Amino acid sequence: MNIQWFPGHMAKTRRLIAENLKLVDVIIELLDARIPFSSRNPEINTLINNKPRLVAFNKSDLADEQISGQWVKWYAEQGIKCILINSISGKGLNEVKARARELMSEKIERDRAKGKLFTPVRLMVVGIPNVGKSSFINRIVGRATAVTGDRPGVTRGKQWIRINSEIELLDTPGILWPKFEDQEVGMNLAFTGAIKDDIMDIAEAAMELLVRLSKNYPAELCTRFKLEPGILKDIEPLELLETVARKRGCIVSKGQIDYSRIAAIVLDEFRGGKIGRITLEKPGDREETGTVKEVGPEVQTATDL
């Protein structure tokens, strides 16, 4: 399945980010902790150039703790500090604010030395669709300010939000890139909901996800769908999907499988963490993970939700 999704408003978002860079002091980039490589938009580095940046792994409560630890170690080896956060519970958000203030300190002192009146330091939040930017903003601000949703494309325009007397924050819509050269990246984005379900074959996506889980998280898969562990050996992808469908009663007339229904169940339960804490990629899975570079005085990484 070849997955590509780049609606017109994303091209506008690229222009919006570029046009507003001169207005902001620090970039906060949110990544999905379940797919730390696939959720990193390769265009962000070019767009933000040398702006100081905080990188936040969001949705870490849904990710495999052991693999998240591997990612934290990997980023540390690149000179990138990782902060584990959770936008729902608020875990780690105070540290994010503290790190942001550290990055802002030089600007604040520079302005004071010039005798300028204090002005709020401005942050910009960027990330792919459905990574949890609005939930992150609402939690860090402390009130429901940004529009939230469980589907990509909810936030369509920029929003300036005052966090406190010292910090203002610019929310931006989710942005993907025009072409996924690596279709595994496209599949990972589809699994996590960064790409709209209605532009792809969800039965094929669910089947591929089940195959991944059968290889890397067989115990969690068998427990959730009440499968006998031995059934996963040498089972064909379609047969696995159909077996799961029968276990959940996704049958229509004459015993036929309701593929759309079981596909929606599999994807929804993965996205909601009901199958277990799962991460779909590890450091070293691709050579490209070694190309991440620091941007600004120090790149911080926060992990969440």
Q: Residues forming the annotated binding site for GTP? A: 58-61, 86-87, 130-135, 174
Q: Which residues are annotated as a binding site?
A: 58-61, 86-87, 130-135, 174
Measure the CA–CA gap between 31 and 303, rounded to whole angstroms.
8
Task: Kindly give the residue spans of alpha helices, DSSP state H, lying in 23-180.
Answer: 42-48, 65-77, 93-113, 133-141
H or E stretch including 285?
Answer: none
In this structure, the strands spanning 159-162 and 121-127 are unpaired
Identity of the amino acid at 262: I
Measure the CA–CA gap between 167 and 164, rounded to whole angstroms.
5
Sheet of strand 167-171, all strands in order from the earlier edge strand to the far edge: 81-84, 300-303, 53-58, 26-32, 121-127, 167-171, 159-162
Residues 6+ apart with CB under 8 A from 183: 1, 2, 3
